[in-house]
Amino acid sequence: MEPVEKVSLDDSPTRTRVSQTILENGPSTAADLADQLGLTPAAVRRHLDQLVADGVVEARDQRVTGQRGRGRPAKVFAITDVGRDGFEHAYDELAAGALRYLAATGGDEAVKAFARHRLIDLEQRYRPLLELADPIQRPAVLANALSKDGFAASVSTTPAGAQICQHHCPVAHVAEEFPQMCEAEAEMFARLLGTHVQRLATIAHGDGVCTTHLPHQTTSSTNPAPAERLPS
């Protein structure tokens, strides 16, 4: 018989250890987690039941390679998107710490270079899509591409042009301290759209949404144009 573990009035620290272990090591069985955390299997299963109920982890059938033994395969528990989002703040602090070190050792230009470098992959993937599109459709194509990458973007038309709104920013907490992240993204928009753009609002500055103004496009030019943030 497994020993009975005393139930704490607040099990959240232990549940955090369980979910973090799954995040770091990948899908795990209750037995694996018990060994790694020094808990009884019964205690781990209790925490896993609560984490599943909270949507932090999900149970899956364990993949079996080779000949399968008798009985049902053991369940493995994997972190969900909801669970992963819960750890974003810790990663944000790690990223901010790295950028503080970069700023201290390399200065503002080093931070700007990093901010631009992290967008290279996005720009390379987006550019062929926009080059194939009619200039009038490029804002919508860009918004759709951003949405597929988790930015929850939309586009609207105004008398002066168009606006791309991003309702989610994965680096918002870091960009609060390092606006170079937002500036580099606006520069990328300008290059992809071949026009001058203006940042009207950003989540990092406390606005509810990142809003970028795009003037009406009348040519098919793809030449880079400077990006600008309006003074607050």
pLDDT in tens, 102-141: 999 999 999 999 999 999 999 999 999 999 999 999 999 9
pLDDT confidence of residue 112: 96
Looking at the fold, whether 139 and 57 belong to one and the same domain comes out as: no
Q: Are residues 221 and 200 in the same domain?
A: yes
Contact 175, 169 (CB under 8 A): yes
Mean pLDDT on 146-155? 89
Render pLDDT for 43-75 as a digit per residue (tens, 0 to 9): 999 999 999 999 999 998 876 544 555 556 678
79 and 120 co-located in one domain: no
β-pair partners for 158: 161
| The token pair that represents 70 in the structure block | 């008798």
Backbone dihedral angles phi then psi of residue 114, each to the nearest 5 degrees: -65, -45
Q: Are residues 205 and 148 in the same domain?
A: yes
Tell me which residue range forms the domain holding 59: 12-86
Identify whether residues 160 and 72 lie together within a single domain: no
Say what the alpha-carbon torsion angle 202, 157, 218, 194 is, to the nearest 10 degrees.
20
Contact between 177 and 92 under an 8 Å Cβ cutoff? The reply is no
Residues 96/101/105/109 CA torsion (nearest 10 deg) = -10
pTM of the full predicted structure?
Answer: 0.61
Given a cut of 60, whether residue 7 has pLDDT beyond it is no
* Boundary residue ending a domain (86, 120, 138): 86
Residues 51 and 99 in one domain: no
Is 7 inside a domain boundary? no
Answer with the one of 36, 68, 86 that is the final residue of a domain.
Answer: 86
The mean predicted confidence, pLDDT, of the chain is 83
Domains held by the chain: number: 2
